[in-house]
Amino acid sequence: MVWVETILNGIFLGGLYGILGLGLALVFGVMRVINVAHGDFIVLAAYLGVFMVAQVPGIHPLWMIIPVVIAFGVIGWVFQMGLMNKVIETDNLLVPMLLTFGLSFVLRNIMLETIGANPMTLNAGNIARASFEVFGIRMGVLPVLTLAISVILFASLHYLIRKTELGRTIRATSDNPEMTRHMGVNPKRIYALVMAIALAMAAVAGFLLAMRTSFSPNTGIDRILIAFEVVVLGGLGSFWGALLAGILLGVTQLIGFRFDGNSGLLYSHILFFFFLIIRPNGLFGSK
């Protein structure tokens, strides 16, 4: 039973890891850009979640995820329209990556100067301690809810991109922005919408992260590393691949903790490098 619980908890953790990489996978899949500041946006969303919950103590903390997601959707739109679209026009993919790399340092130092380096957590209330038992296996309500939210987000984004008119426009813009421009579509607005969705997903990840564990301004480095591993392991631009990769990393990490309480993350990193060797295009990446 202990190993079954470990694997289940790894799957639940993997759902969170999948959300960490979802926005990164979307941005790369559409714009071929790696947002190095993605992890810091996640941490910033976690801090905003803590602030919002503290301001409205009479409402269940989970409801505060809505204004946080909306706020980061707006931030994503403004960020893309104000900065990223200008550097994407250079056709040099290194430039937008360097921009987000610099932004990562700016965000981290702003958080350190204004909030401090002490770890914080989001008071999730009773849901953080609630659990239930199925066939003798005890599961936490919050981890199960996190996995459910993860599956819903991945399914919704897959439906949006693959089954809707807007999704077809996004894919066409990704493949040939010049052609879509001649068809009356403004690629800059499409990119801004994609970044808005990506940072909204980052906000969900940050909020759930804050409910499950402590964080600090420096946590963004760890989050972007996991998000990057999720995206690469799943296959660049593959949504469902990112979810599966997150689950694999989560299960590997918790099994690793069973063998060595200090090296669980090391085992997930080893798994990542192992897959890079035997399957460099990822689980669902195109050759």
Close Cβ partners of 145 (under 8 Å, ≥ 6 residues apart): 127
Q: Which two tokens stand for residue 180?
A: 């879509």
pLDDT of residue 124: 82
**Chain segment 220-253, per-residue pLDDT in tens:** 988 999 999 999 999 876 788 899 999 999 999 9
pLDDT of residue 267: 86
pLDDT category of residue 151 using cuts at 50, 70 and 90: very high
Give the Cβ contact number of residue 41 at 10 Å: 29
3-state secondary structure string across the chain: CHHHHHHHHHHHHHHHHHHHHHHHHHHHHHHCCCCCCHHHHHHHHHHHHHHHHHHCCCCCHHHHHHHHHHHHHHHHHHHHHHHHHHHHCCCCCHHHHHHHHHHHHHHHHHHHHHCCCCCECCCCHHHHCCEEEECCEEEEHHHHHHHHHHHHHHHHHHHHHHHCHHHHHHHHHHHCHHHHHHCCCCHHHHHHHHHHHHHHHHHHHHHHHHHHCCECCCHHHHHHHHHHHHHHHHCCCCHHHHHHHHHHHHHHHHHHHHHCCCCHHHHHHHHHHHHHHHCCCCCCCCC
Tell me the domain boundaries of the chain: 2-278
Q: Are 122 and 61 in contact (CB under 8 A)?
A: yes
Predicted TM-score (pTM) of the model is 0.92
Close Cβ partners of 97 (under 8 Å, ≥ 6 residues apart): 33, 34, 36
Place of tokens 């903790």: 257
Annotation: CATH topology of 2-278: ABC transporter involved in vitamin B12 uptake, BtuC (1.10.3470)
pLDDT of residue 285: 64
Place of tokens 């909204």: 200
Distance CA 30, CA 104 (A): 21
Backbone angle region of 132, left / alpha / beta, with phi > 0 → left and psi within -120 to 50 → alpha: beta
For residues 212-227, average pLDDT: 91
pLDDT of residue 79: 96
Distance CA 15, CA 240 (A): 11
The four Cα atoms 16, 23, 229, 262 give a dihedral, to 10 degrees, of -30
Distance CA 238, CA 244 (A): 10
Whether the predicted pLDDT of 211 surpasses 70: yes
pLDDT of residue 57: 81
Average predicted confidence (pLDDT) for the chain: 90
State what percent of residues in the chain have pLDDT above 90. 61
pLDDT category of residue 286 using cuts at 50, 70 and 90: low
Q: Which two tokens stand for residue 146?
A: 């996190």
Whether the predicted pLDDT of 264 surpasses 80: no
Q: Is 86 exposed, middle or buried (0-12, 13-18, 19+ CB in 10 A)?
A: middle
**Chain segment 19-64, per-residue pLDDT in tens:** 999 999 999 989 989 999 999 999 999 999 999 998 888 888 899 9
For residues 64-83, average pLDDT: 96
The highest-confidence range among 83-87, 177-181, 193-197, 221-225, by mean pLDDT, is 193-197
More confident residue, 42 or 5: 42
pLDDT of residue 66: 96
Whether the predicted pLDDT of 287 surpasses 60: no
